[in-house]
Structure 1
Amino acid sequence: MRKIYSLVALFLGLQCIVLAKTDTVQVHSDAMDKDVPNLIITPSGYSSSTTYPSVYLLHGAGGDYTTWARIADLQQYADRYGLIIVCPDAGVTSWYFDSPIDPKMQYESYVASELVAWVDDHYATKPDRAYRAITGLSMGGHGGLYLGFRHQDVWGAVGSTSGGVDIRPFPLNWDIAKRLGSYAENKEVWEENSVINMLHLLDGKTLDIIFDCGRHDFFYDANVRLHEKMEERNIPHDFISRPGVHNAEYWQNAIAYQLLFFNSKFEARKK
């Protein structure tokens, strides 16, 4: 009888353990009244009996929820650091705004509120900002800092790689005008929604910040200006400048540093 009980206990224990996998999930957005696809990567040995930090990776313009999985071996990082990695879809050129002119482009509400709540309800995350990070590439780099700065109650660590941190020099590019209206007629809206103008939201204590950009990237000048403004205001951050252009080879390298950074912050919070 004791042997039977042992086998039952073993079986029940195994039910809590799931092999590493990548899930494609549809999450309904009330804000946009549509279902949105996402990739969710869990670490090997994922178990519902424990909890894991989570990192949200945002794609760039022209990309989708599969972009990061095609650039980097996300399973390797999920396993190495014991992370749940979430890759949301955000439309081809949403810029992660809640668009004031397009009700089907409310991706700030979707990612920062609806998706985070859904992931915490359906996966064994640590439902605490201290163990939740967000970053992204290009448009998603803008999104990582934009959403992180505006929702410091949701994320404790934020980042960007090759991010469009100042949208104002690009009034005719990447459908930004379709999300905010034309720059000529809506200058104030553009100013308010440029990451480089959002440093007044930061107290220099709440967020851990990392961002980088290749020195031959068309967004490089804006990233340097963001770094300099943060230094002027004594806002702690890690800024990395290295050779590189706006491409997948650069982002594959950059994400390794950023996930190491996030993991170091998660580990420090355990002590």
Structure 2
Amino acid sequence: MFANVPTALTPRTRVLLVLSVLLATLTPTAPALAAHPSGSSHGAEVVAVTHVADRQLDLSVRSTALGGRTVKVRILTPDGWNPDDRRRQHWPTLWLLHGCCGDYTSWTAMTDVAETDALRDVLVVMPEAGWNGWYSDWWNHGRGGDPAWETFHTKELRHLLERDWGAGRDRVVAGLSMGGQGALLYAARHPGMFKAAASYSGSAHPLLDEESVSRILGFFAGQNNDPLRVWGDPVAQRRIWEAHDPVHLAERLRSVPVYLSCGDGTTGPLDAPGAASALEADFNRQNHALAAELRRMGARHLTTNFYGPGTHMWAYWERELHASLPVLLGALEDDG
């Protein structure tokens, strides 16, 4: 069913993979922090808080999983959220994951998420995940350790938010591009943590073929990184790659409401004339492969919007966030 990945990577191939880094526009950075520490939880602690705008707070979180580094998490608080009583509040929660090469500010900077009325009854969590962290605990040539983004998000940050910041245990997750893959991975790799997942132009099957493998290794090589630090070699560490490939985790997503959307990489209605995206075309093929595998598995709650012409652009992701809210918020309301 899947195209075969080459059984060896020549030195020339490795050089080409490193050179295939694809860059995206960086989003604005956050303002300066104000002191407002809170206690640690499972290896993480909030060391400062900044009030960014109405209902928007930036938490500076020191993380053991990230080698003691401090990273930012933006939260969008619901109506009625009380900062003086947050430990006794339990709000349904939407996690919004950014892509490469954005950051925790991307969703509020690039979309109308903060003005979306449908989200005024949920706590929205937008965590930092690294320029190209890929929502993974990096292999680091077998040593593990920093960065461990998956551990930071699913263990440290999750417990911290639920203990001190009003997050409840009913959660859904959505993301774009790298974050779309992250949403699918977290829903699959942590059964029961998220009641639904949405992926917009996500990397849904990085092992699809040699082009897909080369492209993601190019991302891994961004900012002068060794691309094999993340998941290792796609042949020698094939098991690790499969453990981070949504198609190979489709059985775990079979009972989860999943929303998949993607353009085909050609000029769409929200693009400038002549725009094209080989990245979106690749991810389109990957998403079709995942949808086919989920249907083969008998997925009960799969929604797809493969909308044809459209590139790898925020205008589409904002639109798809709104389109997917019935799936995401419906899952939060479902007690079954």
TM-score (norm 2): 0.69
Number of residue-to-residue matches in the alignment? 247
2:223 pairs with 1:180: no
Quote the offset at 1:74 in angstroms.
1.9
**SS of 2:138's equivalent?**
coil
Q: Residues 184 and 80 of structure 1: is their aligned pair in 2 closer, same or farther, counting only changes over 3 Å? A: closer
Aligned partners of 1:136 and 1:159 also within 8 Å? yes
CA distance, structure 2, for counterparts of residue 136 and residue 254 of structure 1: 10
Aligned partners of 2:257 and 2:327 also within 8 Å? no
Amino acid paired to 2:249: M
Aligned twin of 2:165: 123
2:249 pairs with 1:198: yes
Q: Which stretch shows the higher mean deviation, 247-256 or 167-176? A: 167-176
Aligned partners of 1:53 and 1:125 also within 8 Å? yes
Identity %: 24
Q: Residues 54 and 80 of structure 1: is their aligned pair in 2 closer, same or farther, counting only changes over 3 Å? A: closer
Q: Residues 80 and 30 of structure 1: is their aligned pair in 2 closer, same or farther, counting only changes over 3 Å? A: closer
Amino acid paired to 2:128: D
2:106 pairs with 1:67: yes
Output one character per residue of 1:164-212: Cα deviation in whole Å (capped at 9) or x when no partner.
011222333201533112324323322232111112334x33x222121
Q: Residues 167 and 210 of structure 1: is their aligned pair in 2 closer, same or farther, counting only changes over 3 Å? A: same
Output one character per residue of 1:2-57: Cα deviation in whole Å (capped at 9) or x when no partner.
xxxxxxxxxxxxxxxxx951000012222222222110001233234753210111
Q: Residues 221 and 124 of structure 1: is their aligned pair in 2 closer, same or farther, counting only changes over 3 Å? A: same
Amino acid paired to 1:122: D
Quote the offset at 1:124 in angstroms.
2.0
2:314 pairs with 1:248: yes
Aligned twin of 1:34: 69
Amino acid paired to 1:155: F
Aligned partners of 2:172 and 2:331 also within 8 Å? no
Aligned twin of 1:265: 331
2:141 pairs with 1:99: no
Q: Residues 119 and 196 of structure 1: is their aligned pair in 2 closer, same or farther, counting only changes over 3 Å? A: same
Aligned partners of 1:28 and 1:35 also within 8 Å? yes
CA distance, structure 2, for counterparts of residue 211 and residue 231 of structure 1: 13
**SS of 1:235's equivalent?**
coil
Alignment of 1:31-180 (within 5 A): 31-32=65-66, 33-47=68-82, 48=85, 50-77=89-116, 80-101=119-140, 103-126=145-168, 128=169, 131-168=170-207, 169-171=212-214, 172-175=217-220, 177-180=228-231
Aligned twin of 1:10: none
Question: 5+ residue gaps in structure 1?
Answer: 1-18
CA distance, structure 2, for counterparts of residue 79 and residue 23 of structure 1: 19
CA distance, structure 2, for counterparts of residue 78 and residue 186 of structure 1: 45
